[in-house]
Amino acid sequence: MIPRSFRHSAVAVVLLAASAVLAAPQPSTNQQIERRIEALLRQMTLQEKIGQLVQYDGITTDAATLAKEGRVGSFLNVTGAEKTTALQNAALQSRLKIPVLLGYDVIHGYRTIFPVPLGSAASFDPQLVEQSERVAAKEATAAGVKWTFAPMVDIARDPRWGRIVEGSGEDPYLGSMIAAARVRGFQGANLADPQSLVACAKHFVGYGAAEGGRDYNSSEIPEDTLREIYLPPFHAAVEAGVGTLMSAFEDLNDVPASANYHTLTEILRKEWRFDGFVVSDYNSVHELVPHGVAADDEQAGLQALTAGVEMDMADGVYDKHLAQLVQSHKLPMSTLDEAVRRVLRIKFRAGLFDRPIFTDVERARRDILTPANREVARHMAEESLVLLKNENSLLPLPKSGKKIAVIGPLADDQANQLGSWIGRGRAEDAVTPLQGITAKLGQQPVLHARGIDMLSLVRAQEVSGATGAAPAPTGATGAAAAGTETGPATIENAVQVAQQADVVVMVLGEPAGMSGEASSRAFLDLPGKQEQLLQEVVATGKPVVLVLESGRPLDIRWAAEHVPAIIQAWYPGIEAGNAIADLLFGDAVPSGRLPVSWPRSVGQIPVYYNHKSTGRPTAPDRWHTGYLDESMEPLFPFGYGLSYTSFSYSNLSVAPQVRPDEPLRVRATVQNTGQRTATDVVQLYVHRRVGPTSPRVRELKGFVRVTLRPGQSETVGFDFGQSAQVLATHDASMRPVVPAGTYDVWVVPNAAAEGAAGSFQVVTK
């Protein structure tokens, strides 16, 4: 668990101060809310109570009729000031006038689309992430939405899993910081504020550990790993006050997550004292039947509600079966009442009873897709880009004197800049890399060739046997929106265009539809003939900068060896092209860092930095942990990312001895040893040498962004109120312990670096 005070380190305090901004109606006190809940509950019929626990997809139902009858507590997928107002007015005609909670997947922006979540996590900048979600909340609520199914806080160690794009990567500490920041951003200081959105931490829990990276697949997670790796971001979200959680699809240790009493009730409600509600994932109550733990929907409904799933998304199981379950005494009324209380509590906290309609067409026009919102998206996109390679300082490129060619199927494709789950984002709002570069270079002509067209990429993936839903082409796939289109989308043409240039910027990657739900991959290579395109352009001898757009690390072994400069851009959102151009030409300095270890090849997966030691740690001889035919090291480690300057780390200081209840303070000096003012992400890792259970080789316990001028150095401090906050682990009986003994500590630029190192003793007697 991440104890509350853990987030009150010197680093976190600044973020908290920045979030308390909006003036809002006074929230009701908890006592007032509890009184109103009980008064309402007393008046409710069985049917009305059940109604509160039912959520339907507004697209597939006669929403207004159901709302008037009080048979539904929530809808998803109804958006827009007019539509949501009409639906809320229908709900207000029901007997008890209980408003509906309107939910929508606002995953990385509503209309102003931000980088995909894995990209914004790469910023290691919770403050900017919070600001981005504030923008998303302002836009979504302007469109009448009051609840987002975000943040997705699933830890993912397997990039074959398409939904790695929706989370914050592999690390529980980074994941917790970002989770809390997103919750603060969505919910603001007061949930009843018309600009605040109820958040939903999902998918509880273990969904990201799907076997083989296959979506919806089972996960087996030992209890200590669950508690130390997969649960912390959820706990952080709960501590940040998240209103709701979503239960996951997968089977977790033999009990599907949507019927898992241990996680939903023992941990979430009892240990963490969560008092909001849990919604099932889409149809996941019914899916207890194909999971094989329920014989029919009636049993499924009973199991899910009893385990702690209060609201049933989409499948109608609660609607159809709860009444009978109560009447036959299989489901106690007290269980039902407790579920209803939790749903009503969030509706009260969200201010829906006092102000059910909080927007209109005028506000929507005013608040959505504003220049100020786009500016935040551009800043977030800049910080999300990770510079992976920059041989001989090829980057930044000069703004004049060199003829630039921009080549690749993603170079001028608007839709694919946005990524998966794009809310009400529109392709036409997006700035492509070609447009961004063209705008940056003013009058100078920019050459362009697609090399391969987007549709052929999507088809190539289908032919190569991608499982699950075939990735859909996501919009603009053809004509150049800017620059000079110089011929057909063939490799031959691209090579000719490259030959006319001094420098080639290649924008390659996955079509956006290849990431996200039901988008697992068995191969992580560049889809279609992109690798061939890259090789033939590199063979011209022109210097090449590769900009990769993808929702996951791809297999780029060839590129890493042969291409001098590589930027991982994820899907940067509507300001993609501007952010990329800012970085390419040095108007911004890269500061993104990898939130996941980047595998060399699929065979290494899972490869993550915070693994346990083995009895035979990796060594160059055969009888140690490793492969005969592949290195054990990832291509790029967790936390890695280059800058246009360099930094050095020294002088780590830490008290030689500390007790678990005493403060832990670590200090180190970081210096900018290069020529550019730039921001570094300074990372703190610890390692316990000996304890009752095998330790992880390193664990991230802090990070801070530091901006330094050339030559400037600064002392960076990490302060924890009690060392136990950083060092606690679980013994074999799952009791939290802080083992006595020696601990190593590093202040470093990434998980594999040596940087500044030291050690200290923990004494418990």
User: Which parts of this chain interact with ligand BGC (CB under 6 A)?
Assistant: 76, 105, 149, 202, 281-282, 517
Q: At what angle do helices 232-239 and 172-187 cross, to 10 degrees?
A: 30
In the complex, minimum distance from the CB of residue 321 to ligand BGC, in angstroms, rounded to a whole number: 22
In the complex, minimum distance from the CB of residue 137 to ligand BGC, in angstroms, rounded to a whole number: 16
In the complex, minimum distance from the CB of residue 615 to ligand BGC, in angstroms, rounded to a whole number: 39
Short-list 445, 460, 438, 519, CA closest to 166: 519
Degrees, nearest 5: CA angle 469-121-670: 150
Cβ proximity to ligand BGC: between 311 and 476 the closer is 311
Cα separation, 693 vs 730, whole angstroms: 8
In the complex, minimum distance from the CB of residue 282 to ligand BGC, in angstroms, rounded to a whole number: 4
Query: Which ranges of 214-273 would DSSP assign to H, the alpha helix?
Result: 223-225, 232-239, 261
Residue type, 541: G
Residues known to be catalytic: 281
Contacts of 224 (CB under 8 A, 6+ apart): 693, 729, 730, 734
Cβ proximity to ligand BGC: between 284 and 550 the closer is 284
Cβ proximity to ligand BGC: between 105 and 575 the closer is 105
In the complex, minimum distance from the CB of residue 56 to ligand BGC, in angstroms, rounded to a whole number: 12
In the complex, minimum distance from the CB of residue 256 to ligand BGC, in angstroms, rounded to a whole number: 14
What are residue 200's phi and psi, to 5 degrees? -145, 105
Cβ proximity to ligand BGC: between 453 and 517 the closer is 517
Closest residue to ligand BGC using C-beta atoms? 149
For residues 596, 702, 154 and 135, what is the CA-based torsion angle, rounded to 10 degrees? -100
Buried b (16+ CB within 10 A) or exposed e, 472-509: ebbbbbeebbbbbbbeebbbebbbbbbeebebbbbbbb
Q: How many CB atoms lie within 10 A of CB 13?
A: 12
| DSSP state for residue 720 in the 8-state scheme | E
Cβ proximity to ligand BGC: between 119 and 695 the closer is 119
Cβ proximity to ligand BGC: between 246 and 434 the closer is 246
Degrees, nearest 5: CA angle 667-668-669: 140
CB 79 within 8 A of CB 143: yes
Cβ proximity to ligand BGC: between 513 and 599 the closer is 513
Cα separation, 157 vs 184, whole angstroms: 26
In the complex, minimum distance from the CB of residue 470 to ligand BGC, in angstroms, rounded to a whole number: 17
3-state secondary structure 110-174: CCCCCCCHHHHHCCCCHHHHHHHHHHHHHHHHHCCCCEECCCECCCCCCCCCHHHHHCCCCCHHH
In the complex, minimum distance from the CB of residue 135 to ligand BGC, in angstroms, rounded to a whole number: 20
Token pair 């290849």 in the structure block, residue? 514
Extract the tokens encoding 668: 């180190």
Per 3-state DSSP, what percentage of the chain is helix, strand, and coil (rounded to 5)? 35, 20, 45
